[in-house]
Amino acid sequence: MKKQEMKENYLDRNKSWNHGEPNIYSLSEIMADNIETDLVFLKTIKKEIQPNCKHSKKFQDIDPDGNPYCMDCNLDL
């Protein structure tokens, strides 16, 4: 995930732009915190749109539009 990588880079004090004078590490921490908030929202959205069907393959069928779905819980797969 690119956002996770960006957050880690902001918190890495070994980056050339993240140490020395003027000290911008506090700004980097704030930016990393904002990215963490984005990550929480993205994970929540992913849980909402990702199907969580645990039924066996025998309950899966294809609707007239060609999209797979579960006949038992009626989730789009």
Name residues of the chain where pLDDT drops below 70: 75, 77
What pLDDT sits at residue 69? 81
**Distance of alpha carbon 25 from alpha carbon 34, whole angstroms:** 14
What pLDDT sits at residue 33? 94
What pLDDT sits at residue 39? 93
Phi, psi torsion values for 68, nearest 5 degrees: -70, 145
**Distance of alpha carbon 20 from alpha carbon 70, whole angstroms:** 57
pTM of the model as a whole = 0.60
8, 13, 16, 17: CA torsion to nearest 10: 80
Does residue 68 lie in a domain region?
no
The total of structural domains in the chain comes to 1
- The parent domain of residue 29 ranges over 2-51
Ordered alpha helix ranges (H), 1-77? 2-11, 25-49
Does residue 24 lie in a domain region?
yes
